[in-house]
Amino acid sequence: EIVMTQSPVTLSVSPGERATLSCRASQSITSNLAWYQQKPGQAPRLLIYGASTGATGIPARFSGSGSGTEFTLTISSLQSEDFAVYSCQQYNNWPPTFGGGTKVEIK
Amino acid sequence: EVQLVESGGGLVQPGGSLRLSCAASGFTFSSYPIHWVRQAPGKGLEYVSAISSDGGSTYYANSVRGRFTISRDNSKNTLYLQMGSLRAEDTAMYFCARRDITGYYSYWGQGTLVTVSS
C-alpha cells in the first residue's frame, strides 16, 4: 500500500503568518490527493481534493499544490480558527491511505 | 444538510464484540459507497472497511479482515460495522465517511469511541 508521510509533525505559526505543510507519497499518485482539517473532538473536514481544488465553502486562504509524490497545503494568513491538525489522503490506489497529520499550533 | 451520526461505541473486553451504526440523512444514501475510518488515540486516520452503494461489495483492511463485517440497510439509511475478536489495538474513534466517486471523503460523522480493555 502507498505510504503517506507528512512533515513537519508540528508547525508553530503566529496568527496572520503563512503556513506550509508537506505531504509525500511513497509512489506516484498523480493528483489524487485530498487534505482534511480536524479540530479536537470534531470530525475531519474536507479542504482540498484533486491536490488543488478547494471543497465547497473552504476559504480562499487554503490552497493545495503538487502532483506525483510531492504535495503542499498552504494557508496564506493563519486565522485563529485554523489551528488544527491537517491530514493528507491518497485515493489513487486501493486501499486509501492517510498521512500521520501535521498539527498547526499557535506560536 | 448531509449528516452522518455514529453510535454503538463503548468499553469492551479483549475478545469481545460490538456493533457500530451510522445513520445517514440529507442525501440519497443508496447512491454512495460508505467507509469506516478509525483514529487511535494520538495517531493518524486509518481506513477500516468499505461497502458499495448497493451493499453487494465489501472491503476490509488487512488488520480487521475476518473479524469485522460491514453491512448497510438502504431502506433505513444506516451503515453497520459488526466488530468481533476485539483487540487492544482496535481502540480508536470510529468514523463513517461518505466516499465520493473519485475517492475522497466529502462528509464525515462525529465518530464513536471504541475502547478495548480489561
Any B CB within 8 A of A64 CB: no
Task: Verify cis geometry, omega within 30 degrees of 0, for the bond prior to A95.
Answer: yes
Lowest mean pLDDT among A37-41, B45-49, B56-60: A37-41
Residue B4: closest CA among chain A residues belongs to which residue? A43
Model pLDDT for residues A12-53, shown as the tens digit of each residue: 999 999 999 999 999 999 999 999 999 988 889 999 999 999
Stretch B43-65: mean pLDDT: 96
Share of chain B above pLDDT 90, in %: 97
Cross-chain residue pair B59–A94, CB shorter than 8 Å:
yes
Q: CA–CA separation, B10 vs B114, rounded Å? A: 5
Cross-chain residue pair B43–A92, CB shorter than 8 Å:
no
**Cα of A81 to nearest chain B Cα, Å:** 18
Using pLDDT thresholds of 50, 70 and 90, give the confidence band for residue A107.
Answer: confident
pLDDT value of position B4: 97
pLDDT value of position A41: 85
- Select from A32, A55, A98 the Cβ nearest to the Cβ of B103: A32
pLDDT value of position B101: 86
Cross-chain residue pair B104–A46, CB shorter than 8 Å:
yes
**Cα of B31 to nearest chain A Cα, Å:** 19
With residue B115 as reference, give the H or E element that holds it.
strand B112-116
